[in-house]
Amino acid sequence: MKPKKILITGGSGFLGSHLCRHLLKEGHEVFCIDNLFTGRKDNIEDLTGNERFTFILHDIVQPIDIEADEIYHLACPASPPHYQLDPVKTLTTNFIGSLNLLELAKKYNSKILFASTSEVYGDPLIHPQKESYNGNVNSIGPRACYDEGKRCAESLFFEYYRQHHLNIRVIRIFNTYGPGMALNDGRVVSNFILQALKGKDLTVYGDGSQTRSFCFVDDLISGMASMMNTKKDFTGPVNLGNPAEVTVLELANKIIDLIGSSSKITFLPIPKDDPSRRKPDISLAKEQLDWMPAVTLDEGLKKTIEYFIKYGKSET
Ligand code: NAD
Ligand code: UDP
């Protein structure tokens, strides 16, 4: 493959840093833009000596001018406690930030991919979720800054496609986990692993009967790159995730078992608007990208636990 100049927003976050590594391995030149809100320099420390890698400390709410062949637009906090810390900023990042990136793509005729989310389906009334489902989102609830922010960004992408003929790609990512997640990320997999390693109670919200479908990060990155590289005239949106669905309580017990932990489970109130179930229908990704996840939840959790054992010991 001919080396390309690639811009990644949110490149020092969890998914972004894996993507940087993947694209550098393929021989491309990578510009990683991040304001370090939830991203960490540690995530990309191993890349800083690479002459094809450039880190740019920048907030995408401000315009930026870099010519690139491709843009992967990932910048946005993804964990509920983090995106709810400053909800107006989350909305601004999704609207103004996406607008800035789309203008940049228009200026240089770059292909641009947007990392959208299964949250656009809200608390879904259709199960599993297909791309044709328009969702059930509370536009004024505590998750709206993220859900509606992403929905608005999707709209922007499709208007730039129709009005300005931009080459866009939209992926809807379902819960993804793996090594490189921030220890203080606040999402369920990292919380449970850290709690189980320390022998603390695992904090299950509600009765734990709500479901999620967890995708290992390597699978997700390969799907994301396939979507960018597909020769087809395929904009998406396309679901990327692992359809193996588990309840949150099953996940808690699985993590306790895999670690051999003495931790117990404690039940805490369920946050408002927490979706009761979530599972991707990935038939479109299979058909268009010939993609499906390969890593089972047990295999992926073992690798993630190893990472947390190595880096999470000193964390409280
Ligand atoms: P993350 O929080 O680890 O990474 C997000 C990155 O964006 C961070 O490095 C953060 O500092 C950066 N960022 C945030 N606001 C910014 C701004 N205004 N300007 C510049 N940089 C900014 O989260 P992640 O899990 O790596 O998620 C990456 C993307 O994928 C997000 O857009 C998220 O919505 C999407 N996504 C992730 C998941 C998942 O399960 N991991 C699921 C659905 C969608
Ligand atoms: N959750 C939980 N305990 C935690 C963190 C999360 O029970 O310590 C639950 C949360 O209520 C939700 C599920 O796990 O039902 C996934 O939460 P996460 O924040 O990881 O992602 P999202 O809700 O965005 O899918």
Interval 49-94: pLDDT, tens: 999 999 999 999 999 999 999 999 999 999 999 999 999 999 999 9
**Is residue 175 within 6 Å of ligand 1 at its C-beta?**
yes
Question: Residue 165: is it exposed, middle or buried by C-beta count within 10 angstroms (0-12/13-18/19+)?
Answer: exposed
The whole-angstrom separation of Cα 284 and Cα 131 is 8
CB 30 within 8 A of CB 8: yes
Q: How far is CA 215 from the centre of its chain?
A: 10
pLDDT digits over 97-121, tens only?
999 999 999 999 999 999 999 999 9
pLDDT above 60 (res 8): yes
Dihedral class, residue 150 (left if φ above 0, else alpha if ψ from -120 to 50, else beta): alpha
**Residues 6 or more apart in contact with residue 125 via CB below 8 angstroms:** 136
Q: Is the pLDDT of residue 316 over 50?
A: no
Q: Are 206 and 274 in contact (CB under 8 A)?
A: yes
For residue 119, give the ligand 2 atom closest to its CA.
Answer: 24
Render pLDDT for 191-246 as a digit per residue (tens, 0 to 9). Answer: 999 999 999 999 999 999 999 999 999 999 999 999 999 987 899 999 999 999 99
The C-alpha atoms of residue 267 and residue 295 are separated, in whole angstroms, by 29
Q: Rg for the chain (alpha carbons), in Å?
A: 19
Domains and CATH numbers, the chain: 5-177+215-240 (3.40.50.720)
* HSE toward the beta carbon, residue 69, CA cutoff 13 A: 11
Q: Is 146 part of the annotated catalytic residue set?
A: yes
Pocket of ligand 2 (CB under 6 A): 79-80, 175, 187-188, 191, 203-205, 210, 212, 248, 270-271, 274
Q: Specify the pTM.
A: 0.98
Q: In the structure, what pLDDT confidence band is assigned to residue 313 with cuts at 50, 70 and 90?
A: low
* Cα dihedral across residues 85, 220, 201, 270: positive or negative: positive
DSSP 96: I
> To test ligand 1's pocket by mutation, which of 74, 88, 95, 96 has the most ligand atoms within 8 angstroms of CB?
74
- Site of tokens 């967890």: 214
**Bridge-based pairing state of the strands 168-173 and 176-177:** unpaired
Q: What does the pLDDT average to over 12-34?
A: 98
Contact 61, 38 (CB under 8 A): no
- What pLDDT is recorded for position 54? 98
Pocket test for ligand 1, best of 18, 21, 37 (most atoms within 8 A of CB): 37
The preferred substitution site among 14, 198, 200, 212 for testing ligand 2, maximizing ligand atoms within 8 Å of CB, is 212
| pLDDT in the model for residue 77 | 97
How is residue 237 annotated by DSSP?
-
Residue 98 near ligand 1, beta carbon < 6 Å: no
Q: Are 185 and 14 in contact (CB under 8 A)?
A: yes
CA of 251 to the centre of ligand 1 (A): 23
- Write down the pLDDT at residue 1: 73
Ligand 1 atom nearest residue 150's Cα: 34
- Say which of 83, 146, 160, 177 is annotated catalytic: 146
Q: Mean pLDDT throughout 159-173?
A: 98
Residue range 131-137: mean pLDDT, rounded: 98
* Closest C-alpha to ligand 2, atom 13: 188
